[in-house]
Chain A
């Protein structure tokens, strides 16, 4: 006999109570892990999208806040207030490569799709795109679309088929090679065509800028600000502000999960308190056999720790499974759209799992301290005479 064996036999002697107490912890930890893992994926996707944008600086309408910066990364609709005149002035600044974007939305078979108006020739160079099927735009004003690889397969659109954007039927010219970023789920139109369709004549949403010498980023920001009265943000600043919003959302979700875990902890307290009452006589028997007070205390703490370990393990696995299975079905909005990424799904993070199990054990052990103390302080005679 070992303490561990004794503990396992104790907690499994009432299977119903064991399962329901465990379920409390499983649900709490599963929701915690789900939120943590979704949050982790969100951050990873944001980093990936930021890299996929391929810009050191982004020029946005003056007064843009973090929400607009998130939208740049997600391909959401943005106000179109930057004029082509301003775009030309930005592009005239030395040592930079600047490309304008007009970001809009359309719906194909009732599903929202990101639309981007671009300067075809420049954008191909800026993004180093490759074509896997069909052709690329042959001119700057050619009415037609080029699709990201996921958009193409999602809507079964191939070169030769047609897509309707805001009531205008446009031929599919080609499909881009997978990039791993938002481009894969976007429909690209020549800027002039997009401006006409979306009635954004002479305006764009933002300008992505790549600086040839990264050391000159700060100087370049100043230069652009002197040239045009627009907001300029570096990719690092943008990441920082986007991540801070995501962080706030994550913390809120995790706090909700923490409440679930707290409720589960009280479930453990309840189970262990009941056990100390039910097993009062048994505690006396153990004391008569020579169990010290700290041994009795240890047995009860171990029992609640076991609940934490088993519940934490099952909860972490359930949470990971849920976040992996659920993420593709979460509705798109500025934040959750990242979860879809380019179809890579959630990543199983072993550190999150291990941390959650440890957290569950810690919570369970804390929950077991009071019942264990009650059990340990019973006098042997009082306990053994209990009927």
Chain B
């Protein structure tokens, strides 16, 4: 597929524990078009998150190749991967993973710090992003003062801080009640409309139903 923004070929991933070897991925190959909305589904522990980590440059495959925007990740050193993560990829996690000692705005600004955005610009952009996710009035609140849904929206604002092409989300609604889940789903829909490439690892049937493409992983293989 020529328009692929994410492409993997025959990825395997083996974790070497102290006594056991775990094969998390066994030759996974996927092609995700630019601007697509993909749900990765499958049972727990079958390699969904591993695949997401490898696509996002957080981990390296044992074998196989990964291309993001036709750049091969295995050719990049750690600093190159960090640069890719700061500029091209935004992560959203199930447990929000906000820095607890920083306010909502500061959490968003911290992501910009690593992309070397000037401090003044950071503040403006963080407020605009928080407004876009409906949290303009919570900019100065610490994560502990926010509900789960609000925290996840801050996490999404943070993922969007450097205007990445790709958003990788690991169970973004896994820890939310249905009202908060609906809010996040709406946000995903609008991000997709704006042309972002969304990859969501999920058990949520609603997300899978909304996605343009569903990839099922079982036993480390793409079905």
Binding site for B on A (CB under 8 A): 1-3, 6, 9-10, 13, 281-282, 284-295, 379-381, 384
Can you report 29 residue pairs joining A to B where beta carbons are below 8 Å apart?
A1-B109, A1-B110, A1-B122, A2-B119, A3-B113, A6-B102, A6-B110, A9-B101, A9-B106, A284-B97, A286-B114, A287-B58, A287-B82, A289-B91, A289-B111, A290-B83, A290-B114, A290-B162, A291-B86, A291-B114, A292-B79, A293-B82, A294-B79, A295-B82, A295-B114, A379-B59, A380-B58, A380-B59, A381-B58
Q: Mark B66-106, 1 if CB is under 8 A from A, else 0.
A: 00000000000011001101110001010001110110001
In the assembled complex, the Cα of A293 lies from the Cα of B80 at a distance in Å of 11
Contact of B114 among A282, A289, A379 (CB under 8 A): A289
Minimal Cβ-Cβ distance residue in A for B98: A285
The answer to whether A290 and B102 touch across the interface, beta carbons within 8 angstroms, is: no
Contact of A290 among B87, B98, B99 (CB under 8 A): B87
The answer to whether A290 and B85 touch across the interface, beta carbons within 8 angstroms, is: yes
**Chain A residues whose C-beta falls within 8 Å of the C-beta of B149 in the assembled complex:** none
- Chain B: minimal CB distance from A299 (Å): 10
Binding site for A on B (CB under 8 A): 53, 56, 58-59, 78-79, 82-83, 85-87, 91, 93, 97-99, 101-102, 106, 109-115, 119, 122, 158, 162
The answer to whether B78 and A290 touch across the interface, beta carbons within 8 angstroms, is: no
**Chain A residues whose C-beta falls within 8 Å of the C-beta of B98 in the assembled complex:** 285
The answer to whether B113 and A384 touch across the interface, beta carbons within 8 angstroms, is: no
Minimal Cβ-Cβ distance residue in B for A6: B110
In the assembled complex, the Cα of A285 lies from the Cα of B91 at a distance in Å of 9
In the assembled complex, the Cα of A284 lies from the Cα of B99 at a distance in Å of 11
Minimal Cβ-Cβ distance residue in B for A387: B95
**Main SS of the interface on chain B?**
helix
**Chain B residues whose C-beta falls within 8 Å of the C-beta of A288 in the assembled complex:** 56, 58, 85, 91, 97
In the assembled complex, the Cα of A186 lies from the Cα of B58 at a distance in Å of 78
In the assembled complex, the Cα of A379 lies from the Cα of B54 at a distance in Å of 12
Knowing A1-B109, A381-B58, the reply to whether A290 touches B101 (Cβ < 8 A) is no
Knowing A9-B101, A281-B97, the reply to whether A290 touches B111 (Cβ < 8 A) is yes
**Chain A residues whose C-beta falls within 8 Å of the C-beta of B122 in the assembled complex:** 1
In the assembled complex, the Cα of A192 lies from the Cα of B56 at a distance in Å of 98
**Chain A residues whose C-beta falls within 8 Å of the C-beta of B158 in the assembled complex:** 289
In the assembled complex, the Cα of A126 lies from the Cα of B176 at a distance in Å of 94
Minimal Cβ-Cβ distance residue in B for A282: B99
Knowing A288-B85, A290-B85, A290-B87, the reply to whether A1 touches B59 (Cβ < 8 A) is no
The answer to whether A381 and B101 touch across the interface, beta carbons within 8 angstroms, is: no
In the assembled complex, the Cα of A6 lies from the Cα of B107 at a distance in Å of 10
**Chain B residues whose C-beta falls within 8 Å of the C-beta of A381 in the assembled complex:** 53, 58-59
The answer to whether A289 and B110 touch across the interface, beta carbons within 8 angstroms, is: yes
**Chain A residues whose C-beta falls within 8 Å of the C-beta of B106 in the assembled complex:** 1, 9
- Chain A: minimal CB distance from B138 (Å): 17
Minimal Cβ-Cβ distance residue in B for A291: B114
Minimal Cβ-Cβ distance residue in A for B54: A381
Minimal Cβ-Cβ distance residue in A for B122: A1
**Chain B residues whose C-beta falls within 8 Å of the C-beta of A289 in the assembled complex:** 85-86, 91, 110-111, 114, 158
Minimal Cβ-Cβ distance residue in B for A380: B58
**Chain B residues whose C-beta falls within 8 Å of the C-beta of A287 in the assembled complex:** 58, 82, 85
Contact of B82 among A3, A290, A384 (CB under 8 A): A290
In the assembled complex, the Cα of A351 lies from the Cα of B202 at a distance in Å of 62
Leading 9 A-B pairs by shortest Cβ distance: A290-B86, A1-B109, A290-B114, A292-B82, A380-B58, A290-B85, A13-B101, A289-B111, A381-B59
